[in-house]
Structure 1
Amino acid sequence: MKNKKTEVKSNDLFPVFLKLQNFHTLLVGAGNVGLEKLTALVNNTPKARIKVVATAVSSEFQSLADQHPHVVIVKRPFIEGDLDGMTFVVLATDDHQLHQYIYELAKERGILLNVADTPDLCDVYLGSIVKKGNLKVGISTNGKSPTLAKRLKEVLNECLPEEIEEILDNLHAIRESLKGDFTYKVRKLNELTAGLVENKVVNHDGEASQIK
């Protein structure tokens, strides 16, 4: 009997990069998980406007928040009014009933959510991010394995050259100086960057060769 071929599901998430400073974010929870979420938010958008609601705040969380004047901490339990004016909500407590309650309230208001360790309640995943200067690469495993995403982040961080920011600056300057229509600019920039995507392959003799 032939083995049935395993169906591979695709990752149907739509990747976007948000100007988070243009929105209002609510973070519920200020313990270890809350610290992880806050770190991700402010490392990527230092001027993100974040309201934190928590009954207890760890010293590490407080220390990080103190470095960002746009982060405001309210020490009390969550109330429905905390959702007023919010665009994005991140839930990072160990109270799953509270998460479900806030989820239902947020859905009624059309607010996007990220819920720690609960993919089914998430509208948005906070994936692993590789950042070097103005280059930013997001990695998603569709919520299946954040650990693998972190390992891939480490690999990409090692592979990307430290000079990438200089390359970006030079390409930006060239782009600004190019004359002609959009098609012409794309063609010229493709020609200039072709060398950046060279790959090593192994031929039948076991020798490495270069392809473009």
Structure 2
Amino acid sequence: MNDLFPIFIKLQNLQTLIVGGGYVGLEKITAVLQNSPLANVTLVSPEIRPEIRELAASNSRINLIERKFQDVDLAGKDLVLVATNDKEENKRIAQVAREKHLLANVADTPDICDFYLSSVVRKGNLKVAISTNGMSPTFAKRLKEVLGEALPDNLETAMEQLKAVRDMLQGDFAYKVDELNRITSVLTEKKPGLEK
């Protein structure tokens, strides 16, 4: 059973540390920036891929430190993504992060992660995150592709219209929720001939 708590975080309000500058580090920083372009990221690694350097050159919110990780690198950080090619060091970094009450994600080691990065489907302001509880990132990737194709591109217009309706509604929160549920109920009605 997947008992993970889904959450969307405003990374621009936090300090994110990525440990590792290889291919997996590139995957992590790319995922962070695709989802939170204003994220504040420090990346520490003795070797840093050219693609990461290019990202940092065009983004003042990325700080590169070219050396081995030191425990002091965790100071002032809120979130840690560990992506070195040394599994024992990855475990050690995650443990030190936990001792400092920081959430840690360790690449390819779901049993010691506090959180996972999800596969994400984006359609304008709609963002759907997919989790397999760390069991199969490949399945999550394929489901992302299916949803990306299935969801229409004009969802942004529908969301803007619903936001305008919500903004016009008078009354307390409960009334607004009931009214929006009534208005959108057509989206979940079963159509004749489509039942299974």
Given the alignment, which residue of 100, 109, 115 partners 2:106?
115
- Aligned pairs, number: 196
Offset, 1:60: 1.7
| Bigger Rg, which one | 1
Q: Report the alpha carbon displacement of residue 26 of structure 1 after superposing the two structures with TM.
A: 0.5
Structure-2-length-normalised TM-score: 0.95
Which residues of structure 1 form unaligned runs of 5+? Answer: 1-9, 202-207
Q: 1:125 to 1:200 in 2, by over 3 A?
A: farther
* Alpha-carbon contact 1:46-1:68 (below 8 Å) kept: no
In structure 1, the residue matched to 2:80 is: 89
Residue of structure 1 equivalent to 2:24: 33
Q: Which runs of 5+ in 2 are unaligned?
A: none
Query: Is 1:157 aligned with 2:148?
Result: yes
SS in 1 for 2:121: strand
Report how far residue 152 of structure 1 moved.
Answer: 0.6
Q: 1:190 aligns with which of 181, 189, 192?
A: 181
Q: Among all aligned residue pairs of Structure 1 and Structure 2, give the percentage whose two residues are the same amino acid.
A: 49
* C-alpha contact 2:94 2:105 (8 A) present in aligned 1: no
Give the counterpart of 1:128 among 101, 119, 125. Answer: 119
Listed one character per residue, the Cα deviations across residues 110-163 of structure 1 (whole Å, up to 9, x for unaligned) are: 110000000111001001011111111110000000000000100111111111
User: Structure 2 CA distance, aligned partners of 1:200 and 1:28?
Assistant: 51
Q: Structure 1 residue runs of 4+, over 6 Å off?
A: none
2:92 and 2:176 mapped to 1: Cα distance? 51
Q: CA RMSD in A?
A: 1.5
Give the structure, 1 or 2, with the largest relative contact order (CA under 8 Å, sep 6 or more): 2
Distance in 1 between the 2:16 and 2:22 partners?
17
Partner of 1:11: 2
With over 3 angstroms needed to count, the CA separation of the structure-2 counterparts of 1:102 and 1:160, relative to structure 1, is same
Instruction: Give distance in 1, aligned partners of 2:42 and 2:110.
Output: 23
Partner of 1:70: 61
